[in-house]
Protein backbone atom coordinates (compact mmCIF):
# COMPACT_ATOMS: atom_id res chain seq x y z
CA UNK A 1 0.00 0.00 0.00
CA UNK A 2 1.35 3.39 -1.00
CA UNK A 3 2.29 5.73 1.84
CA UNK A 4 0.15 8.88 1.97
CA UNK A 5 1.79 12.12 0.84
CA UNK A 6 0.18 13.94 3.80
CA UNK A 7 0.03 17.15 1.81
CA UNK A 8 -2.07 19.97 3.22
CA UNK A 9 -4.56 22.17 1.42
CA UNK A 10 -6.76 24.65 3.26
CA UNK A 11 -9.90 26.47 2.18
CA UNK A 12 -11.26 29.34 4.25
CA UNK A 13 -14.54 31.20 3.78
CA UNK A 14 -14.54 34.85 4.87
CA UNK A 15 -17.32 37.32 5.44
CA UNK A 16 -17.19 40.41 3.21
CA UNK A 17 -17.82 43.30 5.59
CA UNK A 18 -18.71 46.97 5.17
CA UNK A 19 -16.65 48.48 8.02
CA UNK A 20 -18.95 51.52 8.24
CA UNK A 21 -21.94 49.43 9.27
CA UNK A 22 -20.44 46.07 10.23
CA UNK A 23 -22.95 44.44 7.87
CA UNK A 24 -22.27 41.79 5.26
CA UNK A 25 -21.79 43.13 1.73
CA UNK A 26 -22.65 41.19 -1.45
CA UNK A 27 -19.53 41.77 -3.53
CA UNK A 28 -17.79 38.59 -4.66
CA UNK A 29 -18.78 38.84 -8.33
CA UNK A 30 -17.33 42.36 -8.44
CA UNK A 31 -14.00 41.01 -7.20
CA UNK A 32 -13.92 38.16 -9.71
CA UNK A 33 -14.70 40.55 -12.57
CA UNK A 34 -11.36 42.26 -11.97
CA UNK A 35 -9.45 39.14 -13.15
CA UNK A 36 -6.53 40.09 -10.92
CA UNK A 37 -3.66 37.62 -11.67
CA UNK A 38 -2.63 37.66 -7.99
CA UNK A 39 -5.56 35.48 -7.03
CA UNK A 40 -6.62 33.63 -10.16
CA UNK A 41 -7.82 30.20 -9.10
CA UNK A 42 -7.22 30.78 -5.39
CA UNK A 43 -10.01 33.26 -4.62
CA UNK A 44 -13.47 31.95 -5.42
CA UNK A 45 -17.18 32.58 -4.99
CA UNK A 46 -19.49 30.66 -2.70
CA UNK A 47 -23.26 30.27 -2.38
CA UNK A 48 -23.81 33.83 -1.12
CA UNK A 49 -22.25 36.91 -2.66
CA UNK A 50 -21.11 38.10 0.76
CA UNK A 51 -18.71 35.15 1.02
CA UNK A 52 -15.20 35.02 -0.41
CA UNK A 53 -13.41 31.67 -0.39
CA UNK A 54 -9.65 31.23 -0.59
CA UNK A 55 -7.72 28.03 -1.21
CA UNK A 56 -4.04 27.48 -0.58
CA UNK A 57 -1.64 25.80 -2.94
CA UNK A 58 -0.63 22.24 -2.05
CA UNK A 59 1.62 22.47 1.02
CA UNK A 60 3.96 19.96 2.62
CA UNK A 61 4.00 21.37 6.14
CA UNK A 62 1.80 23.47 8.42
CA UNK A 63 4.46 26.19 8.24
CA UNK A 64 4.05 26.36 4.45
CA UNK A 65 0.28 26.45 4.87
CA UNK A 66 0.62 29.39 7.25
CA UNK A 67 2.64 31.35 4.69
CA UNK A 68 -0.05 30.66 2.09
CA UNK A 69 -2.90 31.73 4.36
CA UNK A 70 -1.12 34.92 5.36
CA UNK A 71 -0.56 35.74 1.70
CA UNK A 72 -4.16 35.02 0.75
CA UNK A 73 -5.70 36.93 3.64
CA UNK A 74 -3.41 39.85 2.86
CA UNK A 75 -4.39 39.76 -0.82
CA UNK A 76 -8.13 39.64 -0.07
CA UNK A 77 -7.81 42.49 2.43
CA UNK A 78 -5.88 44.55 -0.11
CA UNK A 79 -8.37 43.91 -2.94
CA UNK A 80 -11.43 44.64 -0.80
CA UNK A 81 -9.74 47.60 0.87
CA UNK A 82 -9.66 49.40 -2.47
CA UNK A 83 -13.46 49.24 -2.43
CA UNK A 84 -13.76 50.36 1.18
CA UNK A 85 -14.50 46.83 2.41
CA UNK A 86 -12.81 44.28 4.65
CA UNK A 87 -13.24 40.70 5.89
CA UNK A 88 -14.06 38.87 9.09
CA UNK A 89 -13.47 35.18 9.81
CA UNK A 90 -16.24 33.59 11.89
CA UNK A 91 -18.67 30.72 11.34
CA UNK A 92 -21.68 33.07 11.28
CA UNK A 93 -22.06 36.82 11.05
CA UNK A 94 -23.10 38.20 14.45
CA UNK A 95 -26.17 40.08 13.23
CA UNK A 96 -26.72 40.36 9.45
CA UNK A 97 -30.06 38.97 8.24
CA UNK A 98 -29.86 35.87 6.05
CA UNK A 99 -33.12 36.73 4.25
CA UNK A 100 -31.58 39.75 2.51
CA UNK A 101 -28.38 38.10 1.25
CA UNK A 102 -27.89 37.71 -2.50
CA UNK A 103 -27.21 34.29 -4.00
CA UNK A 104 -24.20 34.16 -6.34
CA UNK A 105 -25.63 33.99 -9.88
CA UNK A 106 -23.55 31.02 -11.05
CA UNK A 107 -25.20 27.87 -12.38
CA UNK A 108 -23.94 25.70 -9.52
CA UNK A 109 -25.29 27.97 -6.79
CA UNK A 110 -28.55 28.73 -8.53
CA UNK A 111 -29.04 24.97 -8.77
CA UNK A 112 -28.44 24.57 -5.04
CA UNK A 113 -30.90 27.41 -4.36
CA UNK A 114 -33.52 25.68 -6.52
CA UNK A 115 -32.95 22.26 -4.94
CA UNK A 116 -32.67 23.36 -1.31
CA UNK A 117 -35.20 26.23 -1.43
CA UNK A 118 -35.11 28.39 1.70
CA UNK A 119 -32.53 26.12 3.31
CA UNK A 120 -29.99 27.42 0.79
CA UNK A 121 -30.89 31.03 1.49
CA UNK A 122 -30.46 30.39 5.21
CA UNK A 123 -27.09 28.67 4.79
CA UNK A 124 -25.14 31.84 5.50
CA UNK A 125 -22.21 30.05 7.09
CA UNK A 126 -18.43 30.14 6.89
CA UNK A 127 -16.13 27.15 7.35
CA UNK A 128 -12.57 25.88 7.24
CA UNK A 129 -11.90 22.85 5.05
CA UNK A 130 -8.60 20.99 5.43
CA UNK A 131 -7.44 18.52 2.77
CA UNK A 132 -4.87 15.86 3.68
CA UNK A 133 -3.25 13.96 0.82
CA UNK A 134 -4.02 10.21 0.82
CA UNK A 135 -3.47 8.56 -2.53
CA UNK A 136 -4.47 4.99 -1.67
CA UNK A 137 -8.26 4.89 -1.79
CA UNK A 138 -8.69 1.93 0.55
CA UNK A 139 -6.50 3.55 3.20
CA UNK A 140 -8.43 6.80 2.69
CA UNK A 141 -11.69 5.04 3.57
CA UNK A 142 -10.05 3.41 6.59
CA UNK A 143 -8.93 6.87 7.72
CA UNK A 144 -12.43 8.27 7.20
CA UNK A 145 -13.94 5.55 9.35
CA UNK A 146 -11.50 6.09 12.23
CA UNK A 147 -11.05 9.87 12.03
CA UNK A 148 -14.78 10.46 12.51
CA UNK A 149 -14.30 9.83 16.25
CA UNK A 150 -11.89 12.77 16.59
CA UNK A 151 -13.96 15.35 14.68
CA UNK A 152 -15.81 16.68 17.78
CA UNK A 153 -12.48 17.02 19.63
CA UNK A 154 -11.12 19.32 16.93
CA UNK A 155 -14.40 21.23 16.57
CA UNK A 156 -14.09 22.19 20.25
CA UNK A 157 -10.92 24.10 19.29
CA UNK A 158 -12.50 25.83 16.28
CA UNK A 159 -15.90 27.13 17.39
CA UNK A 160 -16.56 30.67 16.14
CA UNK A 161 -20.32 31.02 15.65
CA UNK A 162 -22.19 31.77 18.89
CA UNK A 163 -24.42 34.46 17.34
CA UNK A 164 -27.17 34.34 14.71
CA UNK A 165 -29.14 37.37 13.50
CA UNK A 166 -28.16 39.40 16.55
CA UNK A 167 -29.02 36.72 19.12
CA UNK A 168 -26.75 34.87 21.50
CA UNK A 169 -27.78 31.34 20.55
CA UNK A 170 -26.29 29.69 23.63
CA UNK A 171 -24.28 27.44 21.29
CA UNK A 172 -20.58 27.71 20.46
CA UNK A 173 -21.01 26.53 16.85
CA UNK A 174 -24.41 27.55 15.53
CA UNK A 175 -22.98 27.11 12.04
CA UNK A 176 -23.05 23.36 12.64
CA UNK A 177 -26.78 23.48 13.35
CA UNK A 178 -27.53 25.45 10.20
CA UNK A 179 -25.48 23.07 8.04
CA UNK A 180 -27.22 20.03 9.56
CA UNK A 181 -30.45 21.14 7.85
CA UNK A 182 -28.88 20.08 4.54
CA UNK A 183 -29.15 16.46 3.39
CA UNK A 184 -25.98 14.35 3.21
CA UNK A 185 -24.37 16.35 6.01
CA UNK A 186 -23.06 15.70 9.51
CA UNK A 187 -20.85 12.83 10.67
CA UNK A 188 -20.52 10.38 7.76
CA UNK A 189 -21.55 6.75 8.10
CA UNK A 190 -18.98 3.99 8.20
CA UNK A 191 -18.07 2.60 4.77
CA UNK A 192 -16.84 -0.93 4.22
CA UNK A 193 -14.62 -0.04 1.27
CA UNK A 194 -13.90 2.53 -1.40
CA UNK A 195 -16.19 0.60 -3.76
CA UNK A 196 -19.06 0.89 -1.31
CA UNK A 197 -18.60 4.67 -1.12
CA UNK A 198 -18.32 4.95 -4.91
CA UNK A 199 -21.43 2.84 -5.44
CA UNK A 200 -23.38 5.13 -3.11
CA UNK A 201 -22.27 8.23 -5.03
CA UNK A 202 -22.98 6.59 -8.40
CA UNK A 203 -26.49 5.63 -7.27
CA UNK A 204 -27.22 9.17 -6.09
CA UNK A 205 -25.98 10.64 -9.37
CA UNK A 206 -27.83 8.15 -11.59
CA UNK A 207 -31.08 8.73 -9.71
CA UNK A 208 -30.66 12.51 -9.92
CA UNK A 209 -30.32 13.04 -6.17
CA UNK A 210 -27.12 15.00 -6.82
CA UNK A 211 -25.31 16.21 -9.94
CA UNK A 212 -21.92 15.00 -8.64
CA UNK A 213 -20.02 14.08 -5.50
CA UNK A 214 -19.41 17.71 -4.50
CA UNK A 215 -22.93 17.70 -3.06
CA UNK A 216 -21.99 15.07 -0.51
CA UNK A 217 -21.66 17.53 2.37
CA UNK A 218 -20.40 15.29 5.17
CA UNK A 219 -18.16 16.68 7.92
CA UNK A 220 -15.48 14.40 6.48
CA UNK A 221 -15.45 13.15 2.91
CA UNK A 222 -13.22 11.93 0.10
CA UNK A 223 -12.68 14.90 -2.15
CA UNK A 224 -14.05 14.32 -5.62
CA UNK A 225 -11.32 16.28 -7.46
CA UNK A 226 -8.15 15.58 -5.49
CA UNK A 227 -6.67 12.50 -3.77
CA UNK A 228 -7.42 13.94 -0.35
CA UNK A 229 -9.53 13.34 2.71
CA UNK A 230 -11.39 16.60 3.34
CA UNK A 231 -12.11 17.64 6.92
CA UNK A 232 -15.11 20.00 6.82
CA UNK A 233 -16.43 20.08 10.39
CA UNK A 234 -14.75 23.26 11.62
CA UNK A 235 -16.07 26.81 11.73
CA UNK A 236 -13.72 29.18 9.95
CA UNK A 237 -11.04 30.18 12.45
CA UNK A 238 -10.70 33.88 13.23
CA UNK A 239 -6.93 33.92 13.80
CA UNK A 240 -4.67 32.41 11.17
CA UNK A 241 -2.66 30.52 13.81
CA UNK A 242 -5.86 28.75 14.87
CA UNK A 243 -6.39 27.49 11.33
CA UNK A 244 -2.80 26.27 11.07
CA UNK A 245 -3.14 24.44 14.38
CA UNK A 246 -6.27 22.68 13.18
CA UNK A 247 -4.59 21.65 9.92
CA UNK A 248 -1.52 20.37 11.78
CA UNK A 249 -3.73 18.24 14.02
CA UNK A 250 -5.53 16.68 11.06
CA UNK A 251 -2.21 15.95 9.31
CA UNK A 252 -0.79 14.37 12.47
CA UNK A 253 -3.91 12.24 12.85
CA UNK A 254 -3.49 10.73 9.38
CA UNK A 255 0.21 10.21 9.99
CA UNK A 256 -0.62 8.36 13.22
CA UNK A 257 -3.11 6.12 11.44
CA UNK A 258 -0.49 5.33 8.81
CA UNK A 259 2.04 4.44 11.51
CA UNK A 260 -0.50 2.11 13.08
CA UNK A 261 -1.19 0.55 9.70
CA UNK A 262 2.51 -0.20 9.28
CA UNK A 263 2.30 -2.26 12.46
CA UNK A 264 -0.90 -4.00 11.31
CA UNK A 265 -2.90 -1.99 13.83
CA UNK A 266 -5.66 0.58 13.72
CA UNK A 267 -7.95 2.55 16.03
CA UNK A 268 -11.39 1.35 17.02
CA UNK A 269 -14.28 2.47 14.80
CA UNK A 270 -17.26 3.79 16.78
CA UNK A 271 -20.94 4.08 15.84
CA UNK A 272 -22.02 7.22 14.05
CA UNK A 273 -24.77 7.87 16.60
CA UNK A 274 -22.29 8.09 19.49
CA UNK A 275 -19.94 10.36 17.56
CA UNK A 276 -22.93 12.61 16.78
CA UNK A 277 -23.56 12.86 20.53
CA UNK A 278 -20.02 14.11 21.02
CA UNK A 279 -20.47 16.54 18.15
CA UNK A 280 -23.57 17.95 19.81
CA UNK A 281 -21.59 18.51 23.00
CA UNK A 282 -18.88 20.32 21.02
CA UNK A 283 -21.50 22.44 19.24
CA UNK A 284 -23.29 23.34 22.47
CA UNK A 285 -20.46 23.83 24.97
CA UNK A 286 -17.17 23.82 23.04
CA UNK A 287 -14.13 23.62 25.30
CA UNK A 288 -16.27 24.18 28.41
CA UNK A 289 -18.20 20.95 28.05
CA UNK A 290 -17.50 17.25 28.43
CA UNK A 291 -17.00 14.70 25.68
CA UNK A 292 -17.68 11.00 25.96
CA UNK A 293 -14.55 8.88 26.01
CA UNK A 294 -16.15 6.09 24.03
CA UNK A 295 -13.40 3.62 24.90
CA UNK A 296 -13.86 4.12 28.65
CA UNK A 297 -17.59 4.88 28.33
CA UNK A 298 -17.36 7.94 30.59
CA UNK A 299 -17.64 11.71 30.39
CA UNK A 300 -14.36 13.63 30.36
CA UNK A 301 -13.80 17.42 30.24
CA UNK A 302 -13.12 18.47 26.65
CA UNK A 303 -9.78 20.06 27.49
CA UNK A 304 -8.62 16.84 29.14
CA UNK A 305 -9.60 14.75 26.13
CA UNK A 306 -7.77 17.12 23.76
CA UNK A 307 -4.66 17.05 25.94
CA UNK A 308 -4.73 13.26 25.79
CA UNK A 309 -5.11 13.36 22.01
CA UNK A 310 -2.03 15.56 21.62
CA UNK A 311 0.18 14.36 24.49
CA UNK A 312 -0.44 10.64 24.11
CA UNK A 313 -2.10 9.50 20.90
CA UNK A 314 -0.48 11.89 18.39
CA UNK A 315 2.82 12.56 20.15
CA UNK A 316 5.10 10.42 17.96
CA UNK A 317 3.38 11.50 14.72
CA UNK A 318 3.73 15.17 15.65
CA UNK A 319 7.43 14.78 16.38
CA UNK A 320 8.03 12.87 13.15
CA UNK A 321 6.28 15.58 11.16
CA UNK A 322 8.10 18.37 13.02
CA UNK A 323 4.83 20.20 13.64
CA UNK A 324 4.85 20.40 17.43
CA UNK A 325 4.99 24.21 17.40
CA UNK A 326 1.84 24.47 15.29
CA UNK A 327 -0.03 21.72 17.14
CA UNK A 328 0.77 23.11 20.58
CA UNK A 329 -1.01 26.33 19.69
CA UNK A 330 -4.00 24.25 20.81
CA UNK A 331 -2.80 24.80 24.40
CA UNK A 332 -3.07 28.55 23.86
CA UNK A 333 -6.61 28.09 22.51
CA UNK A 334 -7.54 25.98 25.52
CA UNK A 335 -6.09 28.60 27.89
CA UNK A 336 -7.62 31.68 26.25
CA UNK A 337 -10.71 30.25 24.61
CA UNK A 338 -11.86 29.94 21.02
CA UNK A 339 -13.18 32.73 18.83
CA UNK A 340 -16.69 31.89 20.10
CA UNK A 341 -15.53 32.32 23.70
CA UNK A 342 -13.85 35.65 22.91
CA UNK A 343 -16.93 36.91 21.08
CA UNK A 344 -19.12 36.09 24.06
CA UNK A 345 -16.73 37.86 26.43
CA UNK A 346 -16.81 40.99 24.29
CA UNK A 347 -20.60 40.83 24.11
CA UNK A 348 -20.83 40.63 27.90
CA UNK A 349 -18.17 43.28 28.49
CA UNK A 350 -19.91 45.80 26.21
CA UNK A 351 -23.37 45.23 27.73
CA UNK A 352 -24.63 43.33 24.72
CA UNK A 353 -23.18 45.48 21.92
CA UNK A 354 -23.28 43.11 18.94
CA UNK A 355 -21.48 45.60 16.71
CA UNK A 356 -18.49 45.45 19.07
CA UNK A 357 -18.34 41.72 18.40
CA UNK A 358 -18.10 42.30 14.64
CA UNK A 359 -15.40 44.93 15.10
CA UNK A 360 -13.41 42.48 17.20
CA UNK A 361 -13.71 39.80 14.51
CA UNK A 362 -12.45 42.21 11.85
CA UNK A 363 -9.45 43.11 14.02
CA UNK A 364 -8.58 39.53 14.94
CA UNK A 365 -8.84 38.34 11.33
CA UNK A 366 -5.98 40.72 10.51
CA UNK A 367 -3.73 39.53 13.34
CA UNK A 368 -0.40 38.23 12.08
CA UNK A 369 -1.21 39.27 8.51
CA UNK A 370 0.43 42.68 8.33
CA UNK A 371 3.81 43.29 9.94
Listed by start position, the domains of the chain span 8-365
Phi, psi of 95 (to 5 degrees): -145, -10
pLDDT of residue 2: 84
20: exposed, middle or buried (C-beta count within 10 Å: 0-12, 13-18, 19+)? exposed
Residues of the chain with pLDDT under 50: none
Dihedral of the CA atoms 209, 212, 217, 223 (nearest 10)?
Answer: 150
d(CA 261, CA 268): 13
d(CA 170, CA 73): 30
Q: In the structure, how many helices (H) and strands (E) does the chain have?
A: 16, 13
Q: Which CATH architecture has domain 8-365?
A: 2-Layer Sandwich (3.30)
The partner residues of 44 in beta bridges, in order of sequence, read 53
Instruction: Tell me the whole-structure pTM to 2 decimals.
Output: 0.97
pLDDT of residue 214: 96
The closest alpha carbon to 347, from 362, 333, 360, belongs to 360
In the 8-state DSSP scheme, what is residue 166?
Answer: T
d(CA 84, CA 95): 20
pLDDT of residue 371: 56
Local structure of 221: helix, strand or coil:
strand
- Residue 234: in which H helix or E strand, if any? strand 228-235
Q: Half-sphere exposure of 87 toward its Cβ, with a 13 Å CA cutoff?
A: 33
First to last CA, the chain: 45
Q: Mind giving me the DSSP string for 290-344?
A: EEEETTTTEEEEHHHHHHHIIIIISHHHHHHHT-HHHHTHHHHHHHH--HHHHHH
pLDDT of residue 297: 97
- Residue 353: in which H helix or E strand, if any? none
The closest alpha carbon to 255, from 164, 160, 139, belongs to 139
d(CA 108, CA 290): 39
Cβ atoms of residues 184 and 296 within 8 Å: no
Pairing of strands 185-186, 217-218: parallel
Local structure of 73: helix, strand or coil:
helix
Helices 354-365 and 339-349: angle between axes, nearest 10 degrees: 140
d(CA 358, CA 94): 6
Q: In sequence order, which residues have a C-beta less than 8 Å from that of residue 2 and are 6 or more positions away?
A: 135, 136
pLDDT of residue 331: 98
87: exposed, middle or buried (C-beta count within 10 Å: 0-12, 13-18, 19+)? buried
Amino acid sequence: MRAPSLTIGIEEEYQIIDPKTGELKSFITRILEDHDPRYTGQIKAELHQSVVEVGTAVCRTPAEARQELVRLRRTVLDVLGKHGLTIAAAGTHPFSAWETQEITPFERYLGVRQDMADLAQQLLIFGTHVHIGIEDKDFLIDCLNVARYFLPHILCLATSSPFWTGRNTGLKSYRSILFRHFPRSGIPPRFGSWDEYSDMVDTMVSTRCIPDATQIWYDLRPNSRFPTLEFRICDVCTRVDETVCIAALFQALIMKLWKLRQDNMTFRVYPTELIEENKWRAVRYGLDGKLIDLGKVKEVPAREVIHELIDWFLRDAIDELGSRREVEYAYKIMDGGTSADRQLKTFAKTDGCIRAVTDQLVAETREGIFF
